[in-house]
Chains A and B, each alone.
Chain A
Amino acid sequence: MDPNQFLDIFLEESNEHLESLGNCLLELEKSPKDKETLDEIFRVSHTLKGMAGTMGFNRTAELTHEMENLLDAIRKQKINVDTGLIDLLFECLDGLQVYINTIAVEGAEGDNDTSLLVNRLQRILNPEEANKKTQSADVNEDVELNTHETGVVSKAKQQGFNCYIIQVRLDKSCMLKAARAFIIFNTLEKKGDIIKSVPSVEDIEDERFNDLIKMVLISNSSIDEVRDSLNSISEIAGVEIRETGIPDEIDNFCIEEEHGDAAGADSGQTNLTKKSITGKTVRVDIDRLDNLMNLVSELIIIKTRLEENKDNHENSNNVEALEYLERITTNLHDAVMKVRMVPIERVFNRFPRMVRDLSKDLGKEIKLSMYGEETEVDRTVIDEIGDPLIHLIRNSIDHGIEQVEARRQLGKPVEGKVTLRAFHDGNTVVIEVEDDGKGIDVGKIAKKAIELDIHSRQEVEQISSEELVGLIFSPGFSTANGVSDLSGRGVGLDVVKTKIESLGGMVEVESNPDTGTKFIIRLPLTLAIIQALLVNIGTENYAIPLNSIKEIVTMEHSGIKNVQDREVVLLRGDLLPVIRLGKELDAEDKPNKESQMTVVVVKKGDRLAGMVVDGLIGQQEIVIKSLGKYLVGIKHIAGATILGDGRVSLILDTNQFF
């Protein structure tokens, strides 16, 4: 077996396990007596240890092993859970993360030293206890399996494997006992899987055993085959093999569990459902999904081309076939999109830990509530949205939430609240980061705006406070008086805004003095295929995303009025700013003698604007293509698409016209 082949899987799974460990630890901190959480932590770290051991990452395995010992002691109620202990376990997690990250980059664990952590872990456990344990391994004690291991055994049995308890006594004259033991392990692993050994692998490595090794082997070979293979190893004094008596116990166990269920205990059941969920998933490389998505996009382009072909509309057979094709491509697109969707949980999960650490550092008490973790978002969004959200949450904690004393004086609850919310809204995903802190100081922003020469004093007096608050997204804009470790360096919010806009989304902020600040991020559900309205501007065609269009109206040219140097029209009694797209885009003029004009009303948040176009072509499903790095930063354009006739049409970024 070549371990490298499994490296990717190992890394991905390890990261997942570390993430769930982190969450469980937080849970444990809240309710230290919760046995289920403890079991989960134990189970996960055990899996992690097993994986690391298999892959030959010994430092990782060692650290998890020590963690496991400690957790076991907690489980047996020899040690009580306190903050110090949780902190230590978190440090262990960090240590593990460093290993995993190094493995991801270099393929090896690197030389980060965690022996100190291991020592601390061991010190918490009673040292005498530890000694006794190693000694007892030598005594003729039977192999005890924990519930997880019995589970494995029973599963294997169901699948027709045999399970043996093997005792091997090494020859007294054997010099390199550890090495000999490893030969035994290797030999047995050719026959099947060793799920447990007494003494443990670590003890054997350190030669902390006399000459008796007991193992539990799952294998499809017969007893004789196993015995023969062991007998071929030299320096062995005796081999004893018997089948485990576990199956009966397991049968009993199952029955008990059923009874338990009937009596109302549901822990067993939740475990079972959890298992069946994991059993039904397949890991797929994201590149393959991207490829699939591209193919679907191509299909949609071709479909559009067929639809545009007039000949196809005269033959009723073709019309029917086309309609069918249309349905299939739409369904296919939806299906592929769904495959790419991941619950936003994956991003949210790292925040509780972050908030915990931050609030400790800053001496603030903060409660993080999260809603809608199950909201599904495109995988590309998941990868990109993490950093902006970290920025916003840090901002809320650092600038938003006041110090405990200040909160008390204001009569607010001492514990600050940060709320993270995700939900679907039509064709977009909304993510909100809200705090109940001091809000944004509009006065400070106005001052800063004058200082930075963004607005003059007179202008500042005229613009609305919403617009002023919006200035915090300008580059170099920070009103924090001091620069802290976290934020206030003036980089941040503009980066957040750029990032979100590059994903085709937008970010807004609502703020009220003393009651808090809310950042609202809107992201398109799909990044690849959208519905758009194709319009004529001069001699050119452009696409306007349908989700930004509110309505389309026709108006008299003469309706345009000048108000404060801006062109506006009256739409049902409200002033609507007018944008002449032809002029904005430098398009060649098409002589237009009609007195009427077509206005596409687009929205950005609550604001509206009317875009004057020269003609409407129609609504179409388009595939968004990037203009590429070479044309990065082109204003007004969100991307390009290829039309049915093979021509490229540009997609307007209506937000940038406001």
Chain B
Amino acid sequence: MAEKQYVVFDINGQEFAIDINRVKTIEKITPVTRVPGAQDFIIGVINLRGEVIPVVDMRKRMDMEPREFDDESRIIIVTVNEMEVGMTADSATEVINIEDEHIDNNLDFTRNIEHSFVEGVGKADNRIVVILNLEKILRID
């Protein structure tokens, strides 16, 4: 049975997941420099050990209420099309295993979220996590 590992994180009380192979690191909030003229969901750029990395505000991207960053807040650095991009999360909790056959495309659970952002819904140990489509979320088509 094929099984993959996913990084699970929390935004607005909902659990989201991304394939662990796409995640480079998970960072605490560092000072963000606003980039004027960038798309509104990009809050700016951060310095990640000498590299300048753009950061996407996931709450804004998914039309959720804004919220101040706190100690639990994280920036998840993912690799998409050889680019490194950060995504904000209220907290990043753990890594879980989800079997491929436990991922389904029934999107009823995700009525609050733009459907194209969702790759599928994964079930593991009575939990339901929304697996995100990074390309769509970051609008790289």
Give the B-binding residues of A (Cβ under 8 A).
298, 301, 540, 584-587, 625-631, 634-637, 640, 642, 646-650
Interface hits, B32-48 → A, CB 8 Å: 33-38, 42, 44-47
Give bound CA distance, A128 to B36, whole Å.
78
Residue pair B37, A298 in contact (C-beta under 8 Å): no
Interface centre among A584, A626, A634, A636, by most chain B C-beta atoms within 10 angstroms, is A634
Residue pair A627, B37 in contact (C-beta under 8 Å): no
Interface hits, B81-100 → A, CB 8 Å: 81-85
- Does any Cβ of A come within 8 Å of B138's Cβ? yes
Interface hits, B62-91 → A, CB 8 Å: 81-85
Residue pair B42, A642 in contact (C-beta under 8 Å): no
A-B interface, 7 closest residue pairs, ranked by CB to CB distance from nearest: A648-B33, A585-B36, A640-B52, A625-B52, A630-B54, A642-B47, A635-B37
Interface hits, B47-62 → A, CB 8 Å: 47, 50-54
For the complex formed, measure the closest distance between the CB of A581 and the CB atoms of chain B, giving whole angstroms.
Answer: 10
Known: A625-B52, A648-B52. A631 touches B31 (CB 8 A): no
Interface centre among B42, B52, B138, by most chain A C-beta atoms within 10 angstroms, is B52
Q: Which residues of B contact A586 (CB under 8 A)?
A: 36-37
Give bound CA distance, A587 to B52, whole Å.
20
Known: A628-B52, A642-B50, A647-B31. A634 touches B37 (CB 8 A): yes
Give bound CA distance, A85 to B77, whole Å.
62
For the complex formed, measure the closest distance between the CB of A527 and the CB atoms of chain B, giving whole angstroms.
Answer: 15
Give bound CA distance, A647 to B47, whole Å.
6
Q: Which residues of A contact B45 (CB under 8 A)?
A: 627, 631, 640, 648, 650
For the complex formed, measure the closest distance between the CB of A335 and the CB atoms of chain B, giving whole angstroms.
Answer: 21
Give bound CA distance, A646 to B31, whole Å.
9
Q: Which residue of B lies closest to A631 (CB)?
A: B54
Residue pair B36, A587 in contact (C-beta under 8 Å): yes
For the complex formed, measure the closest distance between the CB of B60 and the CB atoms of chain A, giving whole angstroms.
Answer: 16
Q: Which residues of B contact A636 (CB under 8 A)?
A: 36-37
For the complex formed, measure the closest distance between the CB of B38 and the CB atoms of chain A, giving whole angstroms.
Answer: 6
Residue pair A642, B52 in contact (C-beta under 8 Å): yes
Interface centre among B30, B46, B47, B81, by most chain A C-beta atoms within 10 angstroms, is B47
Q: Which residues of A contact B53 (CB under 8 A)?
A: 628
For the complex formed, measure the closest distance between the CB of A656 and the CB atoms of chain B, giving whole angstroms.
Answer: 10
Residue pair A648, B54 in contact (C-beta under 8 Å): no
Known: A298-B50, A648-B45. A628 touches B83 (CB 8 A): yes
Q: Which residues of A contact B42 (CB under 8 A)?
A: 631
For the complex formed, measure the closest distance between the CB of A636 and the CB atoms of chain B, giving whole angstroms.
Answer: 6
For the complex formed, measure the closest distance between the CB of B42 and the CB atoms of chain A, giving whole angstroms.
Answer: 7
Interface centre among B33, B42, B44, by most chain A C-beta atoms within 10 angstroms, is B33
Q: Which residues of B contact A301 (CB under 8 A)?
A: 50
Known: A298-B50, A625-B51, A631-B45. A650 touches B35 (CB 8 A): yes
Q: Which residue of B lies closest to A537 (CB)?
A: B36
Residue pair B37, A647 in contact (C-beta under 8 Å): no
> A627's contact among B31, B52, B138, B140, by CB below 8 Å, is which?
B52
For the complex formed, measure the closest distance between the CB of A223 and the CB atoms of chain B, giving whole angstroms.
Answer: 61
Give bound CA distance, A634 to B35, whole Å.
8
For the complex formed, measure the closest distance between the CB of A643 and the CB atoms of chain B, giving whole angstroms.
Answer: 9
Residue pair A647, B36 in contact (C-beta under 8 Å): no
Give bound CA distance, A642 to B140, whole Å.
26
Q: Which residue of B lies closest to A642 (CB)?
A: B47
For the complex formed, measure the closest distance between the CB of B43 and the CB atoms of chain A, giving whole angstroms.
Answer: 12
Give bound CA distance, A625 to B54, whole Å.
12
Give the A-binding residues of B (Cβ under 8 A).
30-31, 33-38, 42, 44-47, 50-54, 81-85, 138, 140
Beyond A628-B83, A631-B35, A634-B35, 14 additional pairs, beta carbon < 8 A: A586-B36, A627-B35, A628-B84, A630-B138, A630-B140, A636-B36, A637-B35, A640-B33, A642-B47, A642-B50, A642-B52, A647-B33, A648-B33, A648-B44
Q: Which residue of A lies closest to B138 (CB)?
A: A630
Q: Which residues of B contact A635 (CB under 8 A)?
A: 37
Give bound CA distance, A647 to B44, whole Å.
12
Interface centre among B36, B37, B83, by most chain A C-beta atoms within 10 angstroms, is B36
Q: Which residues of A contact B33 (CB under 8 A)?
A: 540, 640, 647-650
Q: Which residue of A lies closest to B30 (CB)?
A: A646
Give bound CA distance, A540 to B32, whole Å.
11
Q: Which residue of B lies closest to A539 (CB)?
A: B34
Q: Which residue of A lies closest to B51 (CB)?
A: A625
Q: Which residues of B contact A628 (CB under 8 A)?
A: 52-54, 83-84
Give bound CA distance, A634 to B34, whole Å.
12
Q: Which residue of A lies closest to B139 (CB)?
A: A630
Q: Which residue of A lies closest to B34 (CB)?
A: A540
Q: Which residue of A lies closest to B46 (CB)?
A: A648
Give bound CA distance, A584 to B36, whole Å.
9
Residue pair A637, B50 in contact (C-beta under 8 Å): no
For the complex formed, measure the closest distance between the CB of B26 and the CB atoms of chain A, giving whole angstroms.
Answer: 19
Interface centre among A636, A647, A648, A649, by most chain B C-beta atoms within 10 angstroms, is A648
Q: Which residues of A contact B36 (CB under 8 A)?
A: 584-587, 634, 636-637, 650
> B47's contact among A540, A585, A634, A648, by CB below 8 Å, is which?
A648
Residue pair B83, A630 in contact (C-beta under 8 Å): yes
Give bound CA distance, A10 to B38, whole Å.
46
Q: Which residue of A lies closest to B81 (CB)?
A: A629
Q: Which residues of A contact B34 (CB under 8 A)?
A: 540
Q: Which residue of A lies closest to B39 (CB)?
A: A631
Q: Which residues of A contact B52 (CB under 8 A)?
A: 625-628, 640, 642, 648
For the complex formed, measure the closest distance between the CB of A583 and the CB atoms of chain B, giving whole angstroms.
Answer: 11
Q: Which residues of A contact B83 (CB under 8 A)?
A: 628-630
Q: Which residues of A contact B44 (CB under 8 A)?
A: 648
For the complex formed, measure the closest distance between the CB of A632 and the CB atoms of chain B, giving whole angstroms.
Answer: 10
Q: Which residues of B contact A627 (CB under 8 A)?
A: 35, 45, 52, 54
Interface centre among B35, B83, B84, by most chain A C-beta atoms within 10 angstroms, is B35
Q: Which residues of B contact A642 (CB under 8 A)?
A: 47, 50, 52
Give bound CA distance, A611 to B110, whole Å.
48
Give bound CA distance, A587 to B33, whole Å.
12
Q: Which residues of A contact B35 (CB under 8 A)?
A: 627, 631, 634, 637, 650
Give bound CA distance, A642 to B52, whole Å.
8
Question: Can you report 19 A-B residue pairs in the complex whose CB atoms are below 8 A from each other?
Answer: A298-B50, A540-B33, A540-B34, A584-B36, A626-B52, A627-B35, A628-B54, A629-B82, A630-B85, A630-B138, A634-B35, A634-B38, A636-B36, A640-B45, A642-B47, A647-B31, A647-B33, A648-B31, A650-B45
Q: Which residues of A contact B140 (CB under 8 A)?
A: 630
Q: Which residues of B contact A631 (CB under 8 A)?
A: 35, 38, 42, 45, 54
Q: Which residue of A lies closest to B44 (CB)?
A: A648
Q: Which residue of B lies closest to A649 (CB)?
A: B33
Q: Which residues of A contact B37 (CB under 8 A)?
A: 585-586, 634-637
Give bound CA distance, A628 to B84, whole Å.
8
For the complex formed, measure the closest distance between the CB of A459 and the CB atoms of chain B, giving whole angstroms.
Answer: 26
Q: Which residues of B contact A540 (CB under 8 A)?
A: 33-34
Give bound CA distance, A628 to B31, whole Å.
18
Q: Which residue of A lies closest to B42 (CB)?
A: A631
Q: Which residues of A contact B138 (CB under 8 A)?
A: 630
Give bound CA distance, A587 to B36, whole Å.
8
Q: Which residues of B contact A640 (CB under 8 A)?
A: 33, 45, 52
For the complex formed, measure the closest distance between the CB of B80 and the CB atoms of chain A, giving whole angstroms.
Answer: 8
